[in-house]
Amino acid sequence: MTRLSVIWILVFFEVQYSTDKRGRTLQKKRVLIVNCYFDETRRPVARVNKFPQAMAPVYLAGAFSKELCHVRMYSELPSGPLQDKSLIGWPDMLVLTGLTTSFDRMLHLTASARTENPKVIVVAGGPAIRALPKLSARYFDYVCEGDVEQMKEVIRDAFGSDYIQEEMVPRFDLAYWVGRIGYAETSRNCNFRCAFCTLTAEGKRYTKLSLDSIRKEILAAGKKRMIVFLDNNFYGSDRNYFLARLDVIRSLWKQGQFAGWAALVTNDFFFNDENIRLARESGCQVLFNGVESFDTGWLQRFKKIQDGRISQVGIIKKCLEAGIVFQYGMMLDPFTRSVRDLRKEVEFILSTPEISLPSYLSIPVPILGTPFFYECVKKKAILPLTKLRDLDTTTLSMHPQESMDEAVAFVRDIRSLRGYRKQILQHTAVFLKRYRTNLNCIQLLIHLGTVMNLSAPALFTAPTWFRRKMRHSRTHISTTEPLDAAYTPPFPVSSQYESYFNPTMVTDAEGSLTVEMSELLERHSGIRRSAFPESPAESRGTPGQAKLPGGG
């Protein structure tokens, strides 16, 4: 057989080789990184205009050798559920990440990938994996409880050190969904401990990244209209470090690397007026803050201690008058407050044009492992037959203070502020008139985008799906909420993996935590072991021997 024949055979079977720095010929590895996502409508919706987009795949991809790995990325947030059979069966390694509610979606893709390619190596990470590492070890080959850099340990163990990229730089070149917005991070985690936050559950310390790595990330993103900093708390606990970061950002902004930037800050940022001025002078156009509520009593209950020092309204006005768009989220709690009280808060916002409208409206969620979750378990407040997938901000997963019917009607209406359209228009008109000299055209457009997302989320974030009639029968109650269409395999899967399409249950028919949640009990002594049923949960299939890099 001639050498040319051998080459053509290798190409036919998609076996590719490359030469490393020491001149050795090594087989190239195929890697698929997927951001898993369930849409709030429980339909296969592509949220092309959702903001911000998921960036974990971009950072994870930076760990793989550019010479020895063919890396592809797929994000289900802007692209909809991954249902391409050929792509599912393509990789040697499948890397999965996503929010807590995406755990079942990771199982779906694992079942499909192993059906198409039994030798595929499946790696999983994210908040659900960190909350349930023992459960995760039953289904995935590698369970990652650490940060994105842990991916290097996985590659070393699975492929060998030659397949690790020496310098881990985000692969924005592979992120087809990014567009004119770039992303970077300057710090990780948060120095506050809000009771409902997943960061509180994970208990990680606030970490500062080097100034050199910040510069490299911004440059790796390319020239963009806007750089969004992914920090959980951009201000942090070290003001000198904050000032040093601003110097780097200001330098790149003046060089024309980006036209403006946005970040998330906690309320302590606004205690010093100079912070706002310095941010604006370094190119800041948008700041996001977790206002959550204008009810100080509710904020204290959830240990948002940083929010009680100065008026929320005063903070918003101060930011806008300084020339920075103020965006925030609201958490409307029908479990401890009356629906009438919540509607009054919404009406207060709409009748106060001095402040911007919120970017989103949500309800509290008992995220696994948070102090709020354990409080709900102690009180047996979580509804029976609640699925892990139900722990989103559009589904009632706990007993409301008042009638369930009234709470459901409120949650259904509040998603698009049904019944408040006239007030929204009036608020927007006065707001634009008031701040037209403080904000530039781009900033005013950003605010109008927020208004559109608030009042017509389906039309704004998923315009193509909106034309397909977005209506879907929902109960908005975890006990009776129907499963997403994604729980039906798009193509046949091996019988040993069919159970991967069963939902992961948080509570049983009596409202007690399931055995699948038992490891949460092991990490929290405040819950009696009787909170769990005695009978073991049925296995989903043949569990594998997972490896936990850095964790044994």
- Decide: helix, strand or coil at residue 330: strand
Q: What is the dihedral of CA 277, 280, 282, 283, to 10 degrees?
A: 180
pLDDT band at 198 (very low <50, low <70, confident <90, very high): confident
pLDDT at 366: 95
Q: What is the DSSP string of 385-438?
A: T-BGGG-STTSB-B--SS-HHHHHHHHHHHTTTTT-HHHHHHHHHHHHHHHTTT
Neighbours of 84 (CB within 10 A): 11
Phi, psi angles (nearest 5°) of residue 255: -80, -5
Tokens 């965006």 map to which residue? Answer: 327
pLDDT at 18: 60
Q: Which CATH superfamily is domain 180-193+205-363+421-435 in?
A: Aldolase class I (3.20.20.70)
Q: What does the pLDDT look like over 346-362, one tens digit per residue? A: 999 999 999 999 998 99
Q: What is the dihedral of CA 550, 190, 188, 216, to 10 degrees?
A: -160
pLDDT at 387: 98
Mean pLDDT, range 62-72, rounded to an integer: 97
Enumerate residues 6+ apart whose C-beta is below 8 A from 448: 428
pLDDT band at 468 (very low <50, low <70, confident <90, very high): low
**Rounded to whole angstroms, how far apart are CA atoms 329 and 337?**
18
Nearest C-alpha neighbor of 170 from the set 60, 19, 70? 60
Q: What is the DSSP string of 284-318?
A: EEEEEEEEE-S-HHHHHHTT-GGGSSS-HHHHHHH
Q: Across-strand partners of 261?
A: 227, 284
Mean pLDDT, range 492-518, rounded to an integer: 96
Q: How distant, in Å, are the alpha carbons of 107, 239, 297, 376, 473 from that of 339?
A: 37, 40, 16, 20, 23
Question: Can you give the residue ranges of every domain in the chain?
Answer: 180-193+205-363+421-435
Phi, psi angles (nearest 5°) of residue 94: -110, 120
Question: Degrees (nearest 5) of the Cα angle 221, 37, 80?
Answer: 85
pLDDT at 140: 98
